[in-house]
Amino acid sequence: MADVATQGRTINEDRQRRWRQAGIYIALTVVTFIMVFPILWMISVSLKPTTETFSLPPRLLPDSFHWGGYAKVLTDPKFRTFLINSYVVGLAVTALSLVIGTLAAFGFSRYRFFGDRVAKLFVITTQMVPTITLLIPYFGVIVFLGLYDTLWGLILTYLTFALPYSIVMMNGYLDTIPKDFDEAATIDGCTPLGVLVRVLLPVALPGIISTAVYTFLLAWNEFLFALALTRSMDMRTVPVGISMMVGEFGLKWDKMMAFSVIGSLPVLILFMLVQRFVVGGLSAGGVKG
Amino acid sequence: MIKTRMTAFALAAATALTPLAAQGEIEWLQWFAAENTDGFYDELVADFEAKHPDITVKLVTQPFGKVRESIVTDSAIGVGSDVLGLNMPWTKEFLDIGILEPLDDYLARDDNSFATGDLVEAPLGKIDGHTWMVPLNAFPFVMHVNMGLVREAGFDAPPATWAELSAQTSAISALQDGTSGIGMPFSSQPPSNGPILTFLPLLYANGGRIMDGTTPNFDNPKVVETLQYLKDMNDAGGMAPGAASRTGGVDLEEFIAGRTGFLISPGVHSSSITSRNPELDYTLVRVPSNGENAYRVHGWEIGISADSANKEDAWTFVNYLLSPEVNARAAKAANALPGNLKALDAVREGADETLIKQMDILSGDTPVEEMRQSPKAVGSWSVMTEEIQAMLRGDQTPAETATAVQARWIELAK
């Protein structure tokens, strides 16, 4: 009798578990669809002739694929310049913030010095200031430094946004690596820099990759400062290039969406390649070993 | 003392490091090159430089939505351009912060390539005793018509009067689901410029105005009558649903897609409409009248920065742009009417049918532009938008709407 009751309970629990799982999958599917739909629509519009952009009822698949938007974008040297600029700025900011951020994080993680807690707090606090309020001061500083309308002006600006994150992120990651590693390496004759480069960085690779991806995304997607701190077509980046297609008298939908797709591809590919490290890197710093 | 020295040092360093324009180098900040004029302005600048080897022009192009902020910010930081592309509603705001150079002395010169009397008048009117801008080209507001829907609704010709417009909008809306008579863009989304796109052209065609000189005068009978007309059209179902969330861009797209019968907007939209939907049975007419044949004139204006270090070169460039031959080319490139009316004949030659139609329709009508002299023009659009939204929701009468806009606008202008 007891067995039957237990069996009944087990069946009920199993059924409940299946319903729960089904609910979770349905919720995940809905959320995924909401997240992915704008991207699908962007691709769809980029492949539609402009007469179909606003057709009713809306259709995801066009009647015929129209590659005109891509052809216009890819054959226009302006857009190539925007892409190259975005790559230059993104890669430079990523490289610089990783080098400087990792060195700073190493200092915070492995050494105690006067004012270290205040300095760390200050680094975190800079992240809390809304960037829009910094636009005019940054504008003034960049002009003062003679870097207005140069890629160096953008690199320097983005570096100041990316560095605090890099420091916090790498500091969290390095803190998870036991100090025994450092001591063993030191006994074997490593200098402090040798400890960082030969011992800690290989272990911290997931953290480095996730920090790099975040930094690259920040520089690649940023619009407001790129618009304010540059004025020549030769210095514009992808987001500003896209905004140039929103005119006073209408939008060039096919070109705008084609360029948006082309502009999104590097980020998507990058993220797909290193997704494993990014997820691992983001969560690793949260737990101390 | 130390602080003073530090400040002086910083200022000196800033002056030394700030890139100053060399003699003969000017910058032209505008959004025109980002419109449907691919490559035209680069060629124009190259042509100017070939004719004036001692002057180089740097073409600085910003998206339209950012130009106003850019001009203000650049000026504040000291990196303002020499020649500025301008929109008339920004005038008062720019004058308040001293961005613009008065052009009276330049316009009075004998060796100009144009006669001031030949220029489109609207941007030239004096404010604070001076002229601040000149017209590169002009975009009169017209009504674009989907003749297919007009005929389907049982009419042979587009509406010429308010009464005909009401009848046709209701009939078109009754045709089928998803089809509306006319779109009215009263979205609060910046720049919230729906009222100046549609309400003002109808008001001017009704013989009304919203300004008394430089003072807002929104609560007058003509305004109330025009608001009542909008409300009646909405109540009769002639207006596309969701006016409070429609932007000018959405209205244009809906018209191009063939879902609205009429669109009130600048004539320049005709090229987008015909190129993007060649199947559309399309024509354009003057905005239906209720007593006066007047149109709202919009355009691309040019001014010179008060802080420019090369004002003479800047004027040489402006002078070049306004010469009949160059001005005609600029107008054709934008499918617009020229700022220099001496260029009209050259524009007419080889112009497409829609442009010729605009020139014919508007040759005898009265141009009206009030935004240039209006205080806090851009802010006032939001006020009008919000109050018209409330009226269309049924929360207030047209008279209450006019009173509310007037009160809020006066408060805003203080």
Domains held by chain B: number: 2
pLDDT beyond 90 at A132 = no
Asked if B115 and B16 sit in the same domain, the reply is yes
Of A227, A245, A249, the CB nearest to B268: A249
List residues of chain A with CB under 8 Å from any CB of chain B: 50-51, 53-56, 136, 139-140, 143-146, 148, 227-228, 231-233, 240, 243-252
Look up residue B198 and give its DSSP letter: I
Asked if B276 and B148 sit in the same domain, the reply is yes
Q: Which residues of B385-405 are buried (b: 16+ CB within 10 A; e: fewer)?
A: bbbbbebbeeebebebbbbbb
Asked if B306 and B197 sit in the same domain, the reply is no
pLDDT beyond 60 at A265 = yes
CB B319 within 8 A of CB B309: no
Domain ranges of chain A: 2-52, 68-284
Q: What is the pTM of this model?
A: 0.80
* Residue of A106, A110, A113, A116 lying closest to A166 (CA atoms): A106
Largest Cα–Cα distance in chain A? 87
pLDDT of residue A275: 80
Asked if B148 and B292 sit in the same domain, the reply is yes
Look up residue B145 and give its DSSP letter: E
CATH number for B310 = 3.40.190.10
CA A54 to chain B, closest CA, distance in angstroms equals 6
**pLDDT tens track for B57-103:** 999 999 888 899 899 989 988 889 999 999 998 998 899 999 999 99
Closest chain A CA to residue B37: A247
Q: Where are the beta strands (DSSP E) in B251-293?
A: 260-266, 282-285
Q: Alpha-carbon dihedral of residues B383, B384, B386, B388, nearest 10 degrees?
A: 160
Asked if B243 and B159 sit in the same domain, the reply is yes
**pLDDT tens track for B324-371:** 999 999 998 888 899 999 999 999 888 888 888 888 877 788 889 898
| Alpha carbon separation from B149 to B36, B152, B236, B255, B261 (Å, rounded) | 28, 5, 18, 11, 6
Element (H, E) at B336: none
Task: Provide the 3-class DSSP secondary structure of residue B59.
Answer: strand
CA B400 to chain A, closest CA, distance in angstroms equals 32
Residue B26 phi/psi, 5-degree rounding, is -125, 155
Q: Which residues of B24-52 are buried (b: 16+ CB within 10 A; e: fewer)?
A: eebbbbbbbbbbbbeebbeebbeebeeee
B190 part of contact set with chain A, CB < 8 Å: no
pLDDT of residue B17: 43
Percent of chain B topping pLDDT 90: 68
pLDDT beyond 70 at B6 = no
- CATH tag for A68-284 (out of 3.40.1360.10, 1.20.1200.10, 1.10.10.60, 1.10.3720.10): 1.10.3720.10
**pLDDT tens track for B314-332:** 999 999 999 999 999 999 8
User: Chain B window 272-291: which residues touch A at a Cβ cutoff of 8 Å?
Assistant: 272, 276-277, 279
CA A188 to chain B, closest CA, distance in angstroms equals 50
Task: Tell me how far apart the terminal alpha carbons of chain A are, to the nearest angstrom.
Answer: 50
Asked if B50 and B117 sit in the same domain, the reply is yes
pLDDT beyond 70 at A2 = no
The domain in which residue B303 lies consists of 2-138+298-363
Between A278 and B109, whose confidence is greater? Answer: B109
Question: Which residues in chain A have their CB less than 8 angstroms from residue B34's CB?
Answer: 244-245, 247
Alpha helices (H) in chain A, listed in sequence order: 2-46, 68-75, 77-110, 116-126, 135-144, 151-175, 180-187, 192-194, 201-203, 205-221, 224-229, 238-243, 253-284
User: Which residues, other chains included, contact B267 with Cβ-Cβ below 8 Å and sequence gap of 6+?
Assistant: B139, B140, B141, B142, B284, B336, B337, B354, B355, B358
Asked if B352 and B383 sit in the same domain, the reply is no
CA A108 to chain B, closest CA, distance in angstroms equals 33
> Given an 8 Å threshold on Cβ–Cβ distance, is A54 in contact with B276?
no
Residue B2 phi/psi, 5-degree rounding, is -65, -40
Mean pLDDT in residue range A255-280: 85
pLDDT of residue B32: 92
pLDDT of residue A281: 58
Closest chain B CA to residue A251: B249
